[in-house]
């Protein structure tokens, strides 16, 4: 299947190139998002006392930083549990520490691109197929189901967190109905995809059926002979991956439940780490306050900004102000989060380089 995908890709890109205008429009949109991120960051930093921000950060002790690093490694270890379980259910026992490295490399690609929730999934598929000889359909099914479960868990936490914050009234003056409707709307998308897989539907294949007419029109515009979209190697690969995902979820309900439990464990670890980061900066937050500030950070990450620049800082400044704390304390917390993610991102990029180019070099040397 991999060979067929490569041949199809070469045939498509060897034809007449795409018009330059869409590429320019995409680049312009990317620059606009970057400009908005920088502007939001500048406005946030301009509105807070930066002296207080640096004062909180410079009082961090080496022992506190070391503790944060240890806790962060433990949190990272929980993120690969779902993926490992889904591959194990399909008969592939990939060493857990390998998946942790792959997940960190994928995180780096997602983090430094707009919309930090997506971007590194193709790398996850590539590493599992190239390094552990898993079929493409198996690797894609594991990544797809893992991502659907991850997004379902994220938006479930968002919805439950909103309900918890509303019930405890920790954020006065916030529109409760708007928060609930927004979180429920976000939850419906991954939940509907999960339900579609469980009942045996093929949502992506159905989408390609709807795209058949635009596909034929585009082919004629490029001077190509219109071929059925469903007959392409790419769509056939997607269909096989959907079949594999359905089989995975239906034949292994216990593994699926364990994967859901792993998501809960990851979120408990995330809440604990966030509380600890606030504590080392001198912020004594209660559980409702911790969840409220974490919700603000997660909403900021949903925005299609590279690394959530500006959005994360603004969200924490506003959250701390609503909680009766100094906005500068929120910015210092966002800087600590930013520093952690930047370190992880750079380590992940280095890992991606070693894993991808190291594999290519081994192939060239005939290993």
* pLDDT (mean) for 114-130: 80
Q: Do 294 and 270 meet the contact criterion of CB atoms below 8 Å apart?
A: yes
Q: Is residue 17 pLDDT above 70, yes or no?
A: no
Q: Do 127 and 143 meet the contact criterion of CB atoms below 8 Å apart?
A: no
Q: Is residue 352 pLDDT above 80, yes or no?
A: yes
In this prediction, residue 361 has a pLDDT band, given cuts at 50, 70 and 90, of low
Query: pLDDT tens digits, residue range 180-220?
Result: 677 777 778 788 888 888 888 877 777 777 776 776 777 67
* pLDDT (mean) for 58-75: 91
Q: Which range, 11-15, 282-286, 360-364, is most confident?
A: 282-286
Q: What is the pLDDT of residue 77?
A: 92
Query: pLDDT tens digits, residue range 93-109?
Result: 999 999 999 999 999 88
């Amino acid at each position: 299947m991999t060979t067929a995908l490569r041949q199809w890709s070469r045939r498509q890109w060897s034809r007449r190139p795409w018009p330059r205008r869409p590429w320019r429009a995409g680049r312009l949109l990317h620059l606009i998002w970057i400009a908005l991120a920088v502007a939001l960051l500048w406005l946030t930093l301009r509105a807070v006392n930066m002296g207080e921000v640096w004062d909180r950060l410079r009082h961090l002790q080496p022992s506190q930083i070391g503790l944060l690093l240890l806790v962060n490694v433990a949190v990272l270890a929980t993120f690969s549990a779902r993926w490992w379980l889904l591959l194990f259910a399909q008969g592939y026992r990939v060493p857990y520490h390998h998946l942790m490295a792959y997940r960190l490399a994928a995180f780096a690609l997602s983090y430094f691109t707009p919309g930090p929730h997506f971007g590194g999934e193709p790398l996850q598929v590539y590493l599992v197929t190239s390094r552990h000889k898993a079929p493409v359909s198996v690797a894609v099914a594991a990544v797809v189901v893992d991502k659907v479960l991850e997004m379902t868990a994220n938006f479930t936490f968002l919805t439950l967190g909103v309900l918890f914050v509303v019930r405890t009234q920790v954020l006065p003056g916030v529109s409760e109905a708007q928060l609930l409707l927004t979180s429920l709307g976000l939850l419906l998308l991954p939940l509907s995809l999960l339900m579609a897989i469980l009942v045996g539907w093929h949502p992506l294949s159905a989408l390609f059926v709807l795209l058949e007419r635009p596909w034929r029109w585009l082919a004629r515009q490029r001077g190509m002979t219109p071929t059925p979209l469903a007959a392409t190697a790419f769509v056939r690969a997607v269909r096989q991956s959907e079949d594999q995902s359905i089989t995975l979820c239906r034949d292994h309900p216990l593994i699926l439940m364990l994967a859901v439990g792993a998501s809960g464990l990851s979120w408990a670890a995330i809440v604990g780490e966030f509380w600890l980061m606030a504590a080392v900066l001198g912020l004594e937050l209660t559980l409702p306050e911790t969840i409220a500030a974490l919700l603000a950070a997660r909403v900021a990450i949903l925005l299609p900004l590279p690394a959530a620049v500006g959005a994360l800082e603004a969200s924490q400044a506003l959250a701390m102000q609503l909680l009766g704390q100094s906005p500068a304390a929120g910015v210092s917390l966002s800087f600590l989060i930013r520093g952690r993610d930047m370190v992880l991102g750079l380590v992940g990029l280095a890992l991606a380089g070693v894993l991808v180019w190291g594999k290519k070099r081994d192939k060239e040397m005939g290993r």
